Amino acid sequence: MRLLDSVLKGAFENGRLAVIDTEGRHYSYGGAGPGPHVTIRFTDPAAPRRILLNPELGAAEAYMDGAMLVEEGSVHDLMRLFFLNKRQFDMTPGQRFWRGVHRRLRRFQQNNVIARARQNARAHYDIGDEVYRTFLDRDMQYSCGYFREPGLPLDAAQLAKKRHIAAKLGIRDGQRVLDIGCGWGGLALYLAHLADVEVLGVTLSERQHRLAVARAERLGVADRVRFERRDYREVEGGFDRVVSVGMLEHVGAHFLPAYFRIVHDRLRAGGLALIHAIGTRAAPGATSPFLRRYIFPGGYAPSLSESVAAVERSGLWTLDCEIWRSHYGLTLRAWRHRFAERRAKVAARMGERFCRMWELYLSGCECAFLEGPSMVFQLQLGRERDAAPLVRDYVMEETKRIARADAAFADRVAATAWECLDGAPLPATMRQSRAAGAGLGGAAGV
């Protein structure tokens, strides 16, 4: 503890951290600036050494293993304390050493060839749909919501996100749409009810694919909405619209140029693409060792400069770039609260260590968006400079039109995620519609 004590003395300016070691000795750090007051206790004498050698990963593993307990405050308070003092913390010897190592190894750590990308997807997305159901909205949207007004409920924020994306895409009858990284299918199914379009959604997750297919069948639109377990690099053919939400973070820094070239090649003349991704205002860096090892193997949120540079080499026009600053932080806050409410259920299924790991993940990411440099960007891309209207006014008008149209189907589409997980029978009206061979999209097409 003596060596860790010497490092922590200069690492805190805001808030206060109190530490109790295994011998009962007390240490205190910070206290001058505003911030949470947190007390931790070590139950394993080796924990301070692990943290000293590899601070972020060592501290996360100590908490996950029960070698470090939070006795005053919460683990979220501890994460906030870390982010409020991150500038000083990053200057400690251990952090500087590992940051340099991770940057030098970045190409190897993000070598997301197709086989490895499949393994990465299984590691995160196939842990069990019930885990995600505990904190996601009904539509199972595992990406940033759009909080158009303060206090918007999570389901409403996710619907607002889908409306905003659809407005930017200019969805119309007869189009062919590619959804790269389609998740549990919610956005693809929404677009297929907004207009008479054909949608191909691709995912590498077996569980996501299974649920998405079941939802399309349940809604009677499987003839127009196909979901395939396929890597984006394996897709062929042309599309009028390409949308990708929360997928760019799984590509890897040195695969970005190839990714945007594929978007270019899949777009037909006059087509539009909308890429929605986590990014950072900071310079290019490396993924947190905790996130890389336990949450998103192979994952990397690129800086905006890296993504735009890759677009420039692809032959695509950047027609619009929109920055969402705190929206994902508010989304993660809602997820964290919902997870906490259902924590006992998750612990019974996945174990206490998993719950502690997920608490760190949700809290840390929330702080990264509300206290740190993380943000979300949306790139609207096209092969031609006039593929989208010249001014943004159309987005607001189109959003209003879409909101009037989706009143007839948005709740019904969203509800199918949990219905299919529960194995609930089809409502009588839906059974009659399917028996008659009618899909849901025609009635709502605009």
| Closest-CA residue to 219 (of 421, 436, 431) | 431
Q: What is the secondary structure of 87-117 as a DSSP string?
A: HHHTTSHHHHHHHHHHHHTHHHHT---HHHH
At which residue do the structure tokens 């949207």 appear? 141
Residue 398: other Cβ atoms inside 10 A: 20
pTM for the whole structure: 0.91
Same domain, 203 and 337: yes
The answer to whether residue 109 sits within a structural domain is no
Same domain, 120 and 100: no
Same domain, 272 and 295: yes
**For position 21, which CATH number holds?**
3.30.1050
Q: Which of 25-39, 42-56, 232-246, 417-431 has the highest mean pLDDT?
A: 232-246
Is 420 annotated in the active site? Answer: no
Same domain, 163 and 65: no
pLDDT in tens, 331-345: 999 999 999 999 999
The answer to whether residue 226 sits within a structural domain is yes
The answer to whether residue 411 sits within a structural domain is yes
Chain CA centroid to CA 172, Å: 27
**Predicted confidence band at 75 (pLDDT cuts at 50, 70, 90)?**
very high
Question: With 50 as the cut, is the pLDDT of residue 172 above it?
Answer: yes
pLDDT in tens, 101-148: 666 666 667 778 999 899 999 999 999 999 999 999 999 999 999 999
Same domain, 137 and 255: yes
pLDDT in tens, 270-293: 999 999 999 998 888 888 899 999
**For position 396, which CATH number holds?**
3.40.50.150
**Predicted confidence band at 32 (pLDDT cuts at 50, 70, 90)?**
confident
The answer to whether residue 442 sits within a structural domain is no
pLDDT at residue 297 in the model: 92
The answer to whether residue 444 sits within a structural domain is no
Same domain, 82 and 119: no
Same domain, 261 and 189: yes
Same domain, 79 and 210: no
Q: For residues 172-191, give the mean pLDDT.
A: 98
Catalytic residue (choose from 182, 365, 367, 420)? 365
Same domain, 310 and 334: yes
The chain-wide mean pLDDT, for the chain, equals 91
- Domain's final residue, options 54, 75, 104: 104
Same domain, 90 and 124: no
- The full length of the chain comes to 446
Same domain, 94 and 119: no
More reliable by pLDDT, 33 or 174: 174
The answer to whether residue 352 sits within a structural domain is yes
pLDDT at residue 112 in the model: 83
Same domain, 38 and 144: no
The answer to whether residue 446 sits within a structural domain is no
How would you label 239-260 residue by residue, b for 16+ Cβ within 10 Å and e otherwise?
bbbbbbbbbbbbbbbebbbbbb
Question: With 90 as the cut, is the pLDDT of residue 378 above it?
Answer: yes
Domain that holds residue 136: 114-435
Q: How many domains does the chain have?
A: 2
Question: With 50 as the cut, is the pLDDT of residue 434 above it?
Answer: no
For 167-316, strand residue ranges (E) read 176-180, 198-203, 225-229, 239-245, 267-280
Cβ-contact 184, 208 below 8 angstroms: yes
- CB-neighbour burial class of residue 166 (10 A; exposed 0-12, middle 13-18, buried 19+): buried
pLDDT at residue 442 in the model: 36
